[in-house]
Structure 1
Amino acid sequence: MPSQTISIVDDDAEVRSATASLLRSIGLDVCTFASAEDFLASTELHETACLIADVHMPGMSGLELQGRLLPMARRFPVILMTAHPTDGARAEAIAKGAAGFFAKPFDADALLACVEDNMTK
């Protein structure tokens, strides 16, 4: 798989670090952000090939971030994860086109497969 930037947005520093390490282990370039607002204000927004975001964060949630990205011309897969999964959040994420929805703690192999599957589309 060619090297492409994956952006991770999560307010939990340990989750950001662990997820980044997992993705780097398969050769992907990773950028991390502590908030959706930081991601939207970054230059990485235009370099991102796939976004992994937490659903529940202070300020803008992952679902709100996903909604903000919908009208943008720059399209990339969005994968959401949460420690507090609900059927409503999953349904909203899928309705907005999420490439994946994972409950924390997530299965590392399943997340990697989801990223790889969506990076090749």
Structure 2
Amino acid sequence: MSRTLFSAVAALAFGLGIANAHAAGDAAEGKKSFAKCHACHQLVEGKNGVGPSLHGLFGRKAGTAPGYKYSSAMQSKGVTWDEATLRQYLTDPKGFVPGNKMAFPGIKKESELENLIAYLKDATK
């Protein structure tokens, strides 16, 4: 591989790495955004409030947190929570799951959404 081509490929890979690092969000900032969620959701396993506990959220099928009474819309959605499904849901909860009980209007700012998801990935383990 020529030196010029190698340099171009390396620069592209470095640039993509930076983009991916940014896409991961800032968990410390996401913790601040979680204040909007905390009134209804807890992070402690089995501790439901107005909303279900978010402990173990990633990889869990929607509508299945133990001990929480979900709407039939959420129970029948058939998705598993991951970054992509949370992004869709948290942007527009009523649009993603019409008929769900969550009254939250959604997060419209991309950076806030990225940060919140980064925080949830860590805090819900």
Note whether the superposition's TM-score is higher than 0.5: no
Bigger relative contact order (CA 8 A; separation at least 6): 2
Normalised by the size of structure 2, how large is the TM-score?
0.30
Relative to its length, the structure with more helix (as a share) is 2
Relative to its length, the structure with more strand (as a share) is 1
